[in-house]
Amino acid sequence: MLPTIPIAERHIDDYIEAAGPEIVEELRDAAKPLSGARLLHVNSTAFGGGVAELLHTQLGLFANLGLDVTWAVIEGSHDFFDVTKSVHNALQGAEVELTPEMRQVYLDRVKANAEMLTGEFDFVLVHDPQPAALLAFVEDIGERKGRWMWRCHLDLSAPYRPTWEFFEPYVDAYDAIVFTAETYAQPGVSGPKPAFIAPTIDPLSMKNRHLAPSVIRDIVASLNIDIERPLITQVSRFDPWKDPLGVIDAFRMARHDVEGLQLALVGSLAADDPEGIRYLQLADEHGQHDPDIHLLTNLDGVGDVEVNAIQRASAVVVQKSLREGFGLVVSEAMWKETPVVGGNVGGIRMQIEDGVTGFLVDSPVMCAQRIVELVGNKRMAHRMGKEGHRTVLENYITPRELMDQLVLMRSLS
């Protein structure tokens, strides 16, 4: 069998307080016909990035709702993750060629993983491009059983065509494809049933739960950030699409108008993201070792509770992505009533209503202007923080996403 990740014990009743008793009741009803159904999720990493975050939260809840849940990760290699990173970029529109050798590296690895995939499942949910071709190989060895869903967390609306044409037959074989939003669907996909499910954050996780002000202060101080001075933060993998260099530029402009401004760039280095370390070094050079620019990673001990504290301690959270499938970090900050200045793209546009629940920006200059406005106008920042929290409560917390997935599985069974 592929390597599996333990499913944490979770209880759906714990969500009554955050989400209300009705939705929890509805979830129980919706899950009844799926009681005992064997559900397998497959992705490429147990740690780092939004998908791992979602699975850690949700799979224990599906188990608590009566499903028989397994989480498996594919085994990659350095070469394989180099290729899948190029695929990720190309499927979001970058003109990155997949050479015949790269295609072979990809297919050989996925085939080896398909051969390790044993066990019988009623539903298999495969996340993102890394394991997407699994189904084709499973089918080749005559082992296709149950319903197969491919969840694409990327924006596939304008992919680089040659790369998409390579992938299309692999994803066309699925029973259903799940996109974050209708606008992300690739019009060419015709076989699988389309479904649209936006991700959510977990209000009960260490990343999002309430923290006492004294805890926030202690954590922030332990990271050498001055709690008395205004702080802006971006929490993201070090990746060109997240534009950390643009954030540094915006910070430099904003600090002319905001005395003592500090910037935290927090990024975990994920196992399937070889570009990360290189991009962290680039950000370090771009920041010219400025003592008010804090580059923090999981290697500095910045885990969930630290991210939680930093997001809460920030005057403004920035998410200046140039492309963004969804951007869980936006909902995470909004949930904490911290106003967000986000890139005017994809999933960020979905979450932020410009001028109401945060600001959308198209350039470092605009980003700097909005930061200055929000740091200088506490009343506006407070109002946006409250509105942001309401948006997340109504649309982007866990129970809604569980429900959408149960509805999809039932529609396929």
What lies within 8 Å, CB to CB, of 334 at 6+ separation is 340, 351, 352, 357, 358, 385, 388, 389, 391, 392
Q: From the CB of 340, what's the least distance to ligand UDP, in Å?
A: 11
**In which element (H, E) is residue 250 found?**
helix 244-254
Is residue 231 at the binding interface for ligand UDP, with CB under 6 A as the rule? no
Is residue 203 at the binding interface for ligand UDP, with CB under 6 A as the rule? no
The pair phi, psi for residue 157, each rounded to 5°, is -70, -25
Torsion 54-334-179-195 (CA) sign? positive
For residue 96 the two structure tokens come to 């990155």
Task: List Cα–Cα distances, 18 to 95, 224, 345, 393, 402, in angstroms.
Answer: 43, 33, 29, 8, 15
One of 37, 317, 329, 333 touching ligand UDP (CB under 6 A):
329
Cβ distance to ligand UDP smaller for residue 192 or 199: 199
Cβ distance to ligand UDP smaller for residue 10 or 207: 207
Cβ distance to ligand UDP smaller for residue 53 or 122: 53
Cβ distance to ligand UDP smaller for residue 122 or 332: 332
Is residue 334 at the binding interface for ligand UDP, with CB under 6 A as the rule? no
Chain residues 204-223 in contact with ligand UDP, contact rule CB under 6 A: 207
- What residues pair up with 267 in beta bridges, in sequence order? 297
Cβ distance to ligand UDP smaller for residue 147 or 294: 294
For residue 303 the two structure tokens come to 């885990």
Is residue 247 at the binding interface for ligand UDP, with CB under 6 A as the rule? no
Is residue 266 at the binding interface for ligand UDP, with CB under 6 A as the rule? yes
Is residue 53 at the binding interface for ligand UDP, with CB under 6 A as the rule? yes
One of 125, 195, 328, 381 touching ligand UDP (CB under 6 A):
328
Task: List Cα–Cα distances, 152 to 76, 176, 181, in angstroms.
Answer: 19, 11, 10
One of 56, 127, 151, 237 touching ligand UDP (CB under 6 A):
237
CB 294 within 8 A of CB 220: no
The pair phi, psi for residue 313, each rounded to 5°, is -80, -15
Is residue 283 at the binding interface for ligand UDP, with CB under 6 A as the rule? no
For residue 45 the two structure tokens come to 């990493």
Distance CA 29, CA 404 (A): 13
Is residue 195 at the binding interface for ligand UDP, with CB under 6 A as the rule? no
Chain residues 85-124 in contact with ligand UDP, contact rule CB under 6 A: none
CA nearest to 393, candidates 200, 206, 179: 200
Cβ distance to ligand UDP smaller for residue 218 or 300: 300
For strands 176-179 and 193-196, give the pairing. Answer: parallel
- Part in contact with ligand UDP (CB under 6 A); list of ranges 18-26, 107-115, 250-258, 302-310: 302-310
Is residue 327 at the binding interface for ligand UDP, with CB under 6 A as the rule? yes
Is residue 235 at the binding interface for ligand UDP, with CB under 6 A as the rule? yes
Cβ distance to ligand UDP smaller for residue 147 or 320: 320
Residues in contact with ligand UDP, counted by CB under 6 A, come to a total of 18
**For residue 358, what is the DSSP state?**
B
The pair phi, psi for residue 63, each rounded to 5°, is -65, -40
Is residue 307 at the binding interface for ligand UDP, with CB under 6 A as the rule? yes
Cβ distance to ligand UDP smaller for residue 163 or 234: 234
CA nearest to 88, candidates 185, 155, 188, 142: 155
Residues that bind ligand UDP (CB under 6 A): 49-50, 53, 207, 235-237, 266-268, 302, 304, 307, 326-329, 332
